[in-house]
A and B are shown apart, each in its own frame.
Chain A
């Protein structure tokens, strides 16, 4: 009897535990101000803005359907990127499992936080049409990107990928692409291989190009398929310019190459100068530091959701910063008392 009672208690306990384990919403991002968060229930729920103090749903961040959009994006994962001042949320849908042309497409929307007279928070779309489409149309007008004579059945497909928010939240940096797909031929009739940069200026409510972006967008390397990082990285932008702080971006490749050479020089001098008994210890320390530097650089690029050339540039930036610190450490060691 006691055994049966024990079985019953265990079963009830497990049933209640199973109920608690039911899949709930995933927290996608938390506003830097801490006021709200964006949650999502997989696989097809819309992202929801929830109040941080009480978890109440404030808004749904639904990306509007495009007239030209085709295919099923219900399995896409929404990725929200909240501005530093927490007033803007850029959401892009990513679906790497979709067949072309949807695999290229990155439907996106930008939402602005507003407050009504009674203090209630709302989120509204910053553009009436789909954000990725509006961004492409702006760039097409500025840079003459699209082919004018598309076949009648061609469908234009757009992508707008997040790159960065400026520190003052005034500019959202995007990488924008567009291609045209023929459903009858099941092929691209206008290549969707390239992307271009543009900003959305949250103060003027318009897309724009600065000299930094226009230079990168019009460089021949932008359309190169070379795997040579040094060449391809000439046309990469990773940092959004704040208002009043516009200017060219320094090359991460050059910065890293310079400091990497300095590191090798200092390290060689240290190994030559140090007591032989300490050499192995320094070598082991340097190996461990290299593993740590490269790992931290990959993590930094992942935390910014970078891919392709932007990821390569951010990894080099991070490596350059760590290497500069390491050079300073080794120089101190070289001039210090530890060396004979």
Chain B
């Protein structure tokens, strides 16, 4: 179990993290999700021991590791740009964590070699051990970086934007593969991402962060369906903000939670209609307020046409008091 307790970190005048508490259960796959500057990478690096908190503690099980060096924490860290050693072969990269051990803890050469091969098989790169990182594709490099991190038998796997530098197709394949691998190994893992889709697809629980604080911790379902704050509602999935009936608060409604009704709804002037996957995406403006509204309608039914005025009503919504937003 990993426990982060009241972590605070400043970079000069810039507060990067403020009072962060987080518990990760053994075997969990956690996503730290947030925009750039939200502090998610800083938190990951503090858990790894690559960065130092100003105050607060990090516990691995019940051991306070705040003063344990990164080399002794036994964490596997996968860097955003992989940080593969260019002058070493793939196999040497994977074996590095074992070859630099002190002589008394170092496995025999043959054991190290076998272990590297085994790991390369695990990440489906068997046979590429004698290549250099420069000869591999982005997705392959990513998997070498993962194998290298796994070689030290980490207690915890940390991944910084693991798919950030890959193109869309590879990204998708690798995502599925990583999820399978996690299921297979059951290694406690935390990854950082700014892509909500990625977080919702992969993680057991998502930690949504903004401006150095945690906005919400929850399962993908909870974060999407029950956003705790306006920020989460806006950042995770698409959302419309409509004035509530009391005129003060804001109603957050997903595009697919809006329906067109015959009477007793808000009037929307349709500007534009196009097909978006299995539904019609209707873009319009609220008459009176001028606010832009996006609606997803079942594509099996006829769509309204631009210029028409329709009445809409939310099927479900979330109200936030006007203050925080």
B and A form one assembly: no
Residues of B within 8 A of A (CB): none
